Amino acid sequence: MKKIIIKQIKSQIGRLPSHISTMKGLGLRYIGDIVERDDTPAIQGMIKKVFYMISIEKRN
């Protein structure tokens, strides 16, 4: 399965509670955190919700 590398680039302070929960679900806690996740529809939906706080790199 394809992988996605997700990096948090902005703070979660002052964001909507649902966006903070989504970031927690992705496994991101601090600015600069990097996680690798499978490219699934659920993860894509989470990425769309918090796109303004993360950067994405696709991996084969």
Q: What is the pLDDT of residues 2-54, one digit of tens each?
A: 999 999 999 999 999 999 999 999 999 999 999 999 999 999 999 999 999 99
Among positive and negative, which fits the CA dihedral 17, 22, 27, 31? negative
All structural domains of the chain with their residue ranges: 3-59
d(CA 8, CA 11): 8
Ramachandran category for residue 56: left, alpha or beta (phi over 0 → left; psi -120 to 50 → alpha): beta
The model's confidence at residue 1, banded by pLDDT at 50, 70 and 90, is: confident
Q: Which two tokens stand for residue 49?
A: 């919700």
Asked whether residue 60 carries a pLDDT value surpassing 80, the answer given is no
CATH for 3-59 is 3.30.1390.20
| Per-residue pLDDT tens digits for 8-21 | 999 999 999 999 99
Provide the whole-model pTM. 0.91
Give the integer Cα–Cα distance in Å for 48 and 29: 18
